[in-house]
Structure 1
Amino acid sequence: MEIETSIYDRVARQCREAGFSHFTPSFLLDEPGLRALRATYRKLPADPRSACRTRAHSRLAWHAGVGRYELQQHRGYSQSATHNDLDGGIVRRFEPLSDAFLRSPVFQRLVDLDRRVVDASGLIDGGAYDVGLHQIRYRASVDEPSYSSPLWLHRDDETVVFIHLLDLSPNAIGGDNLVAPNARTISKVLRLERPLESLVVTQAILHAVTPLSSREGAAFRDILLVTFDPLTPAKAASRNREVA
């Protein structure tokens, strides 16, 4: 589709030049499966490291020579202590994403858009990617905020990270994304508010998300993180079934 081409070329160029891009894949908003995809966040399992989050995690493998995504064997998720001073250096274990989520045409088109951006950006050589998927709901009340890990400005271990908003309750306060060239300067504050409104960041910049709270009652923020790294031979060997 021409609109897809214009999006991923523009986003890839902004990633190369600025280290981030803010965009919305509007061609997906009319997909009939979007409502069902958003509904899956209501059934997410608990995050064992935080009572204020529910979450699931899976990994895909993509190789240009194969031309499809394959689900990797489920394993823990870890970050370096250098980039995450709260939970870095430990293995966190989450339940995998549901088959209903992974089989969703909206999800598959969204991940493929991300992959095309990474292809066009040239930030990862070789056309073989380790794709991390983090489905997260932040839950907050007036007296119990919800927050990310790490809490403040950081670089991710992964080469490219896409942050897609799926839903945001109208009573939510906070949950703003920050972009910074260094630890002393905030250059951009972005609030993802509309379905599929997205931010992609590279290791060229620092970023963070502010804690989420509520004006009244229970508030939530639903996101999908899609991360890309080179696919190593060891990770490629752990593929176990085709997804798309």
Structure 2
Amino acid sequence: MTENQPQLSTPGKGQREMLRPYVHLPADTVRGALAEHSERELKSLTESWAGLPVDRFMKDAATYRRRRYSAFRFAGNSLVRTVHGAFRQSTEVNPLHGGVAREFAPMEEETARSGVLRSLVLALLDELPGDFDRAAGSIGVHQIRILASRDETGLPAPEGIHEDGHHFVAQVLMRRDNVVGGESRLYDREREPLFRTTLLEPFETIIIDDRRVFHGVSPIEPGPELSIGVRDMMLVDFMPLTPGGRGPSDGAARQP
């Protein structure tokens, strides 16, 4: 693993907000929050990345990214999928792919109804580096696979150093096979380096306050064993519901 900055003991939400605008969670911490689920259930979720379609909104007809997306809200302790719609970001937030209604394929029904997914989102909520009103919040879940080959480098973040336009974003590693690179990097609002690490174990996670940091990920290349490398990520966006209770797929990318 690449050298990380020293990790502090996990403080409460108010303390985390004063200390830093991100949280780095070891895989064991996240898996501990999923202890009620069997290995078979966990495997069922991670294997759902195998069926992701090509992201047809990539520039230059690139084919190295696969993707699905769905938006959710909480009803009590139940994670409820909202009506599927396009995912939107402003050009200010995403100059490369913003300003376009990107209609990604929705998550498959079995995945969206997964008890593991619900438990994972609840665990992430407990670790956010700041306050979030669950009752008035919307959750966007992205399943993303980046492929790297001898002919095509995989770019986990083709936008470079950027923000996503949400309140909080969780970056959860689901799989990493035969990959070199993929270092996660965080920057303050002056784009000065703040933190960096390479996510190596499934369920290892970084959660950021997207209003206080920029982020990026270095390119990936296949390792020496095989000609193809695979990096699977789950990105979970947290932001307030837009007027009328509509989720992030229907609203502007950034809230005041």
Normalised TM-score (structure 1): 0.84
CA distance in 1, matches of 2:42, 2:200: 16
User: What code does the residue aligned with 1:161 have?
Assistant: V
**Which has more strand, going by share of residues?**
1
Matched, 1:26 2:31: yes
CA distance in 1, matches of 2:153, 2:222: 8
Partner of 2:200: helix, strand, or coil?
coil
Residue 4 of structure 2 corresponds to which residue in structure 1?
none
Tell which deviates more after alignment, 32-41 or 157-166: 32-41
| Aligned 8 A contact 1:87 1:149 in 2 | no
Distance 1:204 1:116, change over 3 A: same
Distance 1:107 1:15, change over 3 A: farther
Residue 54 of structure 1 corresponds to which residue in structure 2?
66
CA distance in 1, matches of 2:23, 2:126: 14
Distance 1:8 1:77, change over 3 A: farther
CA distance in 2, matches of 1:127, 1:102: 19
Matched, 1:89 2:94: no
> How far has the Cα of 1:184 moved from its partner?
4.5
Residue 121 of structure 1 corresponds to which residue in structure 2?
130
| Aligned 8 A contact 2:146 2:231 in 1 | yes
Matched, 1:233 2:238: no
User: What code does the residue aligned with 2:156 have?
Assistant: S
User: What code does the residue aligned with 1:165 have?
Assistant: L
CA distance in 2, matches of 1:87, 1:54: 15
Residue 85 of structure 2 corresponds to which residue in structure 1?
75
Tell which deviates more after alignment, 92-101 or 31-40: 31-40
Partner deviation per Cα, 1:20-69 (whole Å, 9 max, x = no partner): 11003131377321112111111111111231111100000125xx4422
CA distance in 2, matches of 1:166, 1:179: 20
**Residue 133 (structure 1) aligned to one of 119, 123, 141:** 141
Tell which deviates more after alignment, 109-118 or 7-16: 7-16
CA distance in 1, matches of 2:10, 2:109: 27
Distance 1:10 1:126, change over 3 A: closer
Provide structure 1 residue ranges, at least 5 long, that are not aligned to the other structure.
1-6, 239-244
Partner of 1:135: helix, strand, or coil?
strand
> How far has the Cα of 1:186 moved from its partner?
1.5
Partner of 1:26: helix, strand, or coil?
helix
CA distance in 2, matches of 1:12, 1:191: 27
| Aligned 8 A contact 1:31 1:106 in 2 | no
Partner deviation per Cα, 1:196-242 (whole Å, 9 max, x = no partner): 0000011211111111211241001001011111113323499xxxx
| Aligned 8 A contact 1:139 1:218 in 2 | yes
Residue 44 of structure 2 corresponds to which residue in structure 1?
36
Distance 1:198 1:136, change over 3 A: same
User: What code does the residue aligned with 1:100 have?
Assistant: E
Distance 1:126 1:224, change over 3 A: closer
Partner of 1:46: helix, strand, or coil?
coil
Residue 220 of structure 1 corresponds to which residue in structure 2?
230
Provide structure 2 residue ranges, at least 5 long, that are not aligned to the other structure.
1-8, 249-256
Matched, 1:109 2:88: no
CA distance in 1, matches of 2:182, 2:194: 17
- In the alignment of these two chains, the number of paired residues is 227
Tell which deviates more after alignment, 41-50 or 175-184: 175-184
Partner of 1:157: helix, strand, or coil?
coil
User: What code does the residue aligned with 2:105 have?
Assistant: E
Tell which deviates more after alignment, 176-185 or 75-84: 176-185
User: What code does the residue aligned with 2:196 have?
Assistant: V
Distance 1:99 1:208, change over 3 A: same
User: What code does the residue aligned with 1:44 have?
Assistant: L
Fraction of identical pairs, as percent: 26
Residue 242 of structure 1 corresponds to which residue in structure 2?
none
| Aligned 8 A contact 2:183 2:217 in 1 | yes
